[in-house]
Structure 1
């Protein structure tokens, strides 16, 4: 970097990062340093916003500017909140003017509405391009454009200015542009979000609000066809909004492409429609629903619940460093077999403490981001008065469920360091049910943890009146989180990676694929409206002996899984031996794509540690 530019920004510009660390309390810093609060958007752009890019094509930028000016004139100057919003709308107007100027550089006038399919797609792309140029947020998602584009394409097909080959080429070219997006990322970013994802999440299909009329169009098929035309790729993050009422032909095509590419995720459209009372819901990042143009989200990363359990066992001290991170809420746990009621009383007391700290930490981060890294164009493409969500997260749900199950159903004693008194391991005598085997004894523990946590979070008001939501999602940072966490009562050793998202711990779901799915489906979406990520891996021959039976079995599996109330499923149809060979011979697998926690990634671009963790996961050999 030019030394003059570097000095200017260091000496004269207050960044979002500067402001956050100026505002952090000592308690927040300790929790962050100890990896109790993880992956916080305090050193990178928060992302998780979806602009309604369709508005640029539908109305033209000039009309959007006029609308924002009217909104500004309606906003008073009698309170700090009004002044803040009035200033933000002024920024939004300026960003729309810059968007128009950018498009003019390429020879296009996007001040007017798009008049044909080519323009509609180009106008939407300009809006998305400007947003990714303005912001380096972790996730910059696309929303849903398949039905919108299809209106223009069908009109052009009927008028004869476009043929079917040309229509597919328009979508191929659009997807190709999305695949080319890159951001400059710090090295520390890759430890949290491996494989350089941008989460250009593209939602396809779904149903109308009445639940009876599908929103599947020819362009929904065209987007999936790009995975065959141009080979599999991680971006855009193809997401099928699933319902058992989708056209059977589309379900077959989506599942066939999924089996062939391992590039598609499936999300329950029925849950999204009910939660948002809208059929125009998109997915931000991985699994987070929001009504396009009407809802925004403050990204809240996640907290480390297995480490918090260690704090409950160690009286608020970090199990690795011995530092006092949490307050000493109880006397030390007595020697001998751990008592379930005593441990859960301690754990939930610490969970309540953490929830308050977590919300306040997010309030600091997003106050700073709003002030020093405001995403003016994103917000220009939303309603001025939008619904605000604040998305919190959990890492290590299956570890915490299995740990509490071990304490309840087996005999668990703490092994302590003689000098420090800290836990270094656990002696487990007896069997205990593990999450992922459709056993209510442990599955109900997982459900109780998330229900109590969201309740604790709601006790502390969130930034700008946001609604609290919760996700069970780790991205690929389950590896880093595990490295920062000591041994846990489920038998997991110090430093071992957590399972991703809401997945059962590696190879503990021993009762087959359907039992594993059933356990995850019991995690209540009502408590986790930010999403519940589940990554499912199975070799294609295990789905069925023929390609036809594989497709039909995957459809039946998805129908049954979502009918039980599940929210999300990544599907990997790949043999473990292929991944092992790709580690040894990456040049043979340039486009090998797999689903991880809520997104897809080029396998050979993962670090060795992340590759090994993926291979260590459960690969089901039977349904």
Structure 2
């Protein structure tokens, strides 16, 4: 009987014709295929082509649907009684005869699927909050017959976990939504075809377990079996659109379509907080370049294919609850697409396709999705660095990550970003996403003996509060370390519960089917409020902070009497304190047992939930007022009051952030900056050159991430007053891009209040 591997050989003449190398033909190794076949491009953007008529027609239609969606509170349509699976919906189209790349999450564009496996209460809340009825039969099935992730989590939570969650010392936990941040290596569909991938999973299943059936072996065998079935279902889904993805792709259009079907399977079956598509640019360029050289397509048609792929990624939508939208405003789904970067061999991975992908922001205008991410190094070709700086300046739609740090710390030149700032090696790693702990609130717990300043509940273990009229630095530091020790243990234990239940009741079978069966897992924690914690400690040390108490003796306000150094102003002492907090908390995290022996990491990232976290946090010793938003990510405090804020310009702020040690925050360090166009220069050429130089310098100094906004606050104020004038105004916030009009009024005000630098 002919094996799939033997059948695969027969496809070589067409599917792999002209491709170099042999090792990737003998085993699944997409990186090797890329390294041996991609064409580095060191030129400029002069080859790029305008939008095709089909692109214009499709984009016009989609814009009309987006407007209806906006008028209906972000919901075009919703399903309420078909649990979403790979095969739950028939094929759907935008304009079938115009689409070069096809496939929708449901059978109608922008229709949000019903996804109850994460939690029926959340699925029903998403429906009812948007005016749709919850289906009684579905509610009964997923309450009485089929347990969900959310129910499993709350069955296992301890009282202490529930209390900490309620008081928002740990926040945004993925216990009420899909965890996401898992990237399947969707390139494998195009390179090998589904049948070969299924054969390899069958081999992995047979080789897992050697007579001794321990719990981890049993679990892995079951998971691989689920992956195998998911691959078969994906074939059925693609067949409903008229495509046979059992075999490898034979040309550029098929390569893009096959790859997209892999990703489509993920977004059909999971609603994770981040559903990244990964690092696909150089891979697809190999197929495009072969077709260009053979006269199969033109450059105009190549751009058309990429435009249509990106348009599909702009259409991804999930049903969300109001509580979720408060945390992650503007309907982000993080279809993060990572481009560029350097190879370990010294070549850049820049291809013409990296230009094409950025050019979609010109052909179809700015857009939050996909979350376009440039893996940056000052060693990238100058033509690409200049083009990327230009697109960033013109659209405020892309983010930059330090590729030199990625290669050095992850040991690969095939990393992608799994959300906003979280790195993962394609096909080799998966992440357990863990939201974040509020270390600004932890400062207040240290002062008040573990009592929450907002609810007056005893949340942390009871200990003697600080009772003096002013805060003693040495006493505070001992208390703060005690709080961080307690918080790290509770936080990790809480996440262990969440990920155990997610694997059990909401397993990501199709995404993991495109990954190695034996994975490296990271256990991602997160930190909110790093700048306020830092500045508060600096105030306690240098500012002679006077304490104001309520009638119960609880410290509720703080008045610094003296000046004190603050993070974000290129002050070495303040920046060192930020690093101390990061390192100490991460050390405590590493001491805990982590689910499935995963490697602990942390991030400095808040998303737009810095507004929600700020509401739950009282006055802090640095002078920040109760209820005010926390500074996002690793950003310095806002300019607020006598002592807070960036005072020394953009470069000083970047210098402070660049001092943060990425080795202690391997889940990423988010930094969002806005600069007035005139602050970059008097004309476009100067502005582009200066922005490119800022990026070169920042990343050479060890900065990890940068969101770049180039606009004035006057523009945002006008957009706030007249949203109809700016339907596609896109801005970068902590870790993603968003249409400004889709932010809540509170979040719009928060963005406007942030520092907009008027000088370098």
Tell me whether 1:304 sits opposite 2:438 in the alignment.
yes
Structure 2 match to 1:366: 499
- Partner Cα distance (1:345, 1:471) in 2: 24
Structure 1 match to 2:278: 143
SS at match of 1:388: strand
Tell me whether 1:277 sits opposite 2:414 in the alignment.
no
Aligned equivalent of 1:332, options 465, 470, 475 = 465
Tell me whether 1:599 sits opposite 2:736 in the alignment.
yes
- Partner Cα distance (1:567, 1:66) in 2: 40
Structure 1 match to 2:708: 571
Structure 2 match to 1:490: 622
- Summarize deviations over 1:381-409 as a string: whole Å, max 9, x none: 10000100010000000000000000011
- Asked whether the 8 Å contact 2:342–2:349 carries over to 1, the reply is yes
Structure 2 match to 1:25: 158
Deviation at 1:10, TM superposition (A): 1.8
- Partner Cα distance (1:564, 1:245) in 2: 14
- Partner Cα distance (1:341, 1:169) in 2: 63
Structure 2 match to 1:478: 610
Where does 1:534-549 land on structure 2 (aligned, <5 Å)? 534-549=671-686
Deviation at 1:560, TM superposition (A): 0.8
Structure 1 match to 2:427: 293
- Asked whether the 8 Å contact 2:398–2:708 carries over to 1, the reply is yes
- Partner Cα distance (2:485, 2:614) in 1: 22
Tell me whether 1:610 sits opposite 2:743 in the alignment.
no
- Partner Cα distance (1:396, 1:438) in 2: 19
SS at match of 2:756: coil
Where does 1:36-115 land on structure 2 (aligned, <5 Å)? 36-76=169-209, 77-115=212-250
Where does 1:170-569 land on structure 2 (aligned, <5 Å)? 170-210=305-345, 212-329=346-463, 331-418=464-551, 420-507=552-639, 508-569=645-706
Deviation at 1:471, TM superposition (A): 0.1
- Partner Cα distance (2:539, 2:631) in 1: 17
- Partner Cα distance (1:132, 1:353) in 2: 37
- Partner Cα distance (2:719, 2:742) in 1: 11
- Partner Cα distance (2:271, 2:520) in 1: 23
- Partner Cα distance (1:446, 1:275) in 2: 21
- Partner Cα distance (1:3, 1:426) in 2: 52
- Summarize deviations over 1:498-539 as a string: whole Å, max 9, x none: 010000011211101100000011110010000000001001
Give the structure-2-normalised TM-score: 0.81
- Summarize deviations over 1:273-316 as a string: whole Å, max 9, x none: 00111100000110000100000000000001111111110011
Deviation at 1:6, TM superposition (A): 1.8
**Which region of structure 1 is more displaced relative to structure 2, 424-433 or 160-169?**
424-433
Deviation at 1:414, TM superposition (A): 1.4
Taking only aligned residues, the RMSD between alpha carbons, in angstroms, comes to 0.7
SS at match of 1:468: strand
SS at match of 2:437: strand
- Partner Cα distance (1:159, 1:332) in 2: 75
- Partner Cα distance (2:247, 2:141) in 1: 39
Structure 1 match to 2:47: none
Deviation at 1:461, TM superposition (A): 1.4
- Partner Cα distance (2:718, 2:467) in 1: 49
- Asked whether the 8 Å contact 2:446–2:465 carries over to 1, the reply is no
Deviation at 1:2, TM superposition (A): 2.3
Deviation at 1:78, TM superposition (A): 2.0
Unaligned segments of structure 1, at least 5 residues: none
- Partner Cα distance (1:321, 1:158) in 2: 67
Structure 2 match to 1:126: 261
- Partner Cα distance (2:677, 2:291) in 1: 39
Tell me whether 1:159 sits opposite 2:294 in the alignment.
yes
**Which region of structure 1 is more displaced relative to structure 2, 335-344 or 83-92?**
335-344
- Partner Cα distance (2:287, 2:235) in 1: 22
- Summarize deviations over 1:344-364 as a string: whole Å, max 9, x none: 110011101100111100000
- Partner Cα distance (1:78, 1:178) in 2: 42
- Partner Cα distance (1:86, 1:343) in 2: 50
- Summarize deviations over 1:148-195 as a string: whole Å, max 9, x none: 000000000011010000000000000000001111111111011000
- Asked whether the 8 Å contact 2:208–2:217 carries over to 1, the reply is yes
- Partner Cα distance (1:290, 1:564) in 2: 23
Give the structure-1-normalised TM-score: 0.99
Deviation at 1:334, TM superposition (A): 2.7
Unaligned segments of structure 2, at least 5 residues: 1-133, 640-644
Deviation at 1:265, TM superposition (A): 0.3
SS at match of 2:366: coil
**Which region of structure 1 is more displaced relative to structure 2, 450-459 or 538-547?**
538-547
- Partner Cα distance (2:736, 2:753) in 1: 18
SS at match of 1:477: helix
Deviation at 1:337, TM superposition (A): 1.8
- Partner Cα distance (1:238, 1:324) in 2: 44
- Summarize deviations over 1:424-446 as a string: whole Å, max 9, x none: 11121010111110001111100
- Partner Cα distance (1:9, 1:392) in 2: 30
SS at match of 1:476: helix
Runs of 4+ off more than 3 Å: none
- Partner Cα distance (1:306, 1:38) in 2: 12
Deviation at 1:328, TM superposition (A): 1.8
- Partner Cα distance (2:382, 2:466) in 1: 57
Number of aligned pairs?
620
- Partner Cα distance (1:558, 1:266) in 2: 8
Deviation at 1:336, TM superposition (A): 2.1
**Which region of structure 1 is more displaced relative to structure 2, 76-85 or 95-104?**
76-85
